[in-house]
Amino acid sequence: MPTNNEDNGSPKRLLVADDEHLVALGMKTNLEELGYEVLGPVGDGQSAIDLCESLKPDMALLDIQMPGLDGIAAAEKIYQTLNIPVVIFSAYSDPEYVESGSDAGVFGYILKPVTRDQLRVGIDIAWNRFLDSSEQLEEIDTLKERLEQRKVIEQAKWILVKRKSVEEPEAMKMLQKQARNNRRSLIEVATAVVESDSLLSD
Note the pLDDT of residue 1.
41
Classify residue 93: in a domain, yes or no: yes
Residue 96: give the domain boundaries.
13-114
Question: What's the rounded mean pLDDT across residues 65-75?
Answer: 89
CB 44 within 8 A of CB 53: no
Q: What is the pLDDT of residue 26?
A: 93
Question: Could you read off the pLDDT of 102-143 as tens digits, one per residue?
Answer: 556 689 889 888 899 999 999 999 999 998 887 777 777 777
Element (H, E) at 87: strand 86-90
166 in the same domain as 74: no
Assess if residue 129 is contained within a domain.
Answer: no
Residue 136 lies in a domain: no
Looking at the 3D structure of the chain, how many domains does it have? 2
Judgement on whether residues 159 and 68 belong to the same structural domain of the protein: no
CA distance 133 to 131: 5
pTM for this predicted structure: 0.64
Beta bridge partner(s), residue 90: 111
Q: Specify whether 158 is located in the same domain as 105.
A: no
Residue 120 within any structural domain of the chain: no
Is residue 171, in this structure, part of any structural domain at all? yes
What counts of helices (H) and strands (E) characterise the chain? 7, 5
